[in-house]
Structure 1
Amino acid sequence: MTTYLYDGVEFDLTRSFVDVIGVEWEWRGQWNEAGEPLLVSPGLPDSPVPLPDVYRDHGPLIPVSPRPSAAQYRAAVDVDYAKTVAAGYVESPTEFAARITPVTPTPALTAHHLNPSPMEQTGFRRFLNSIAGGTR
C-alpha cells in the first residue's frame, strides 16, 4: 500500500478520491520534484495536480470505496428462486397488497369539523335584523 501523509491525514494512494463537488481524482504513480503525489482527474488526464493543491483548492478528499467486481454484481443479482421460496421470502400478490396497504379508518365528519353557520356568528343576526328594520 502506498500512502502519503499530508496535514495529519494519511492518504492511501491506491484508492481514488472524490472532492466535495464530486470530481474523481486518482494517483497514477507520478511524483513532482517536491515529493508530492500528482493526482489526475479522468476528465483531464494530461493535467496532473499535486495532492496538497487538490486538497487545498477542492476541499477534503473522500476515498472512493472499491467497486464490486462483475462476479460480485452477478452474485447479488442471481438468486436461487427455489431457496427464496423455501426460506419463506415469497408472498402472493394478495399478501403483498395487504402488507403494504395501510389500514386506516375513513374519517367521519362530525359537527365540530364544519364551519359555524352564519346565523350563529356574532353580530350577523343583529345585522339581519337591522336590514329588516326589526329589533333584537
Structure 2
Amino acid sequence: MTSFEHDGVVFDLTRSFVDVVGVEWEWRGQRNEAGEPLLVSPVLPESPVPLPDVYRDHGPLIPISPRPSAAQYRAAVDVDYAATVAAGYVETPAEFGVRITPAAAPAPVLTAHHLPHSPLEQTGFRRFIRSLQKGGA
C-alpha cells in the first residue's frame, strides 16, 4: 500500500514531500506499530518520524514533482539540439564569440565646428568672472 490517508488528505508515499520551511521528507517503506508511515529527512537527526507527527509539527506537506532527467532537461532547454547536431551545425566557442560580438564601429571624424566653444569666449561667463573679481569672494 503506497498511499496513506490522514485528516482527509491522501498522501502518495511514492513521492517526496517538502514541509512549509523547505525540509524534504520521503518514505522508505518503514511503518510504526500503528501502521503509520515513517518519513525520513536527510537533514534532521530525529527521523524517522510518523507522517501524522510531521504533518502536525512541520505544517502541510507539499508533494515534490519528479525531477527531470538529463535528457528531459536538454530537450526543454534546447528543443532543436538533436536537429542542430544532425544538420552539422556545430561551432567552437571561439566561432560563437565571433558570431555574437558586434563589429567595431569606426570612430566619427570631428571637425572644429563639432567641438564645444570655450567658456572664456562666452560673454556671460566673462561677466561672471569679473563679478567675482570685483565683489571679492
- Taking structure 1 as the reference length, the TM-score comes to 0.56
Given residue 35 of structure 1, which amino acid in structure 2 is its aligned partner? Answer: G
Instruction: Name structure 2 gaps, 5 residues minimum.
Output: 85-137
Task: Quote the Cα distance in structure 1 between the aligned partners of 2:32 and 2:72.
Answer: 37
From the two aligned structures, give the one with the greater strand fraction. 1
Verify: 1:68 aligned to 2:63, yes or no.
Answer: no
Structure 1, gaps ≥5 residues long = 84-136
Runs of 4+ in structure 1 displaced over 6 angstroms?
none
The CA RMSD over aligned residues, in Å, is: 2.6
CA 1:57–1:46 in structure 2 vs 1: closer, same or farther (change >3 Å)? closer
Alignment of 1:46-125 (within 5 A): 47-80=47-80
Q: How big is each residue's C-alpha offset from its partner over 1:76-116, in whole Å with a ceiling of 9 and x where there is no partner?
A: 22343788xxxxxxxxxxxxxxxxxxxxxxxxxxxxxxxxx
Q: Distance in 1 between matches of 2:37 and 2:71?
A: 32
Looking at structure 2, the residues matched to 64 and 26 of structure 1 have their Cα atoms a distance apart, in angstroms, of: 10
The range that moved more, 73-82 or 49-58, is 73-82
% identical equivalent positions:
87
SS in 1 for 2:48: strand
Structure 1 counterpart SS, 2:29: strand
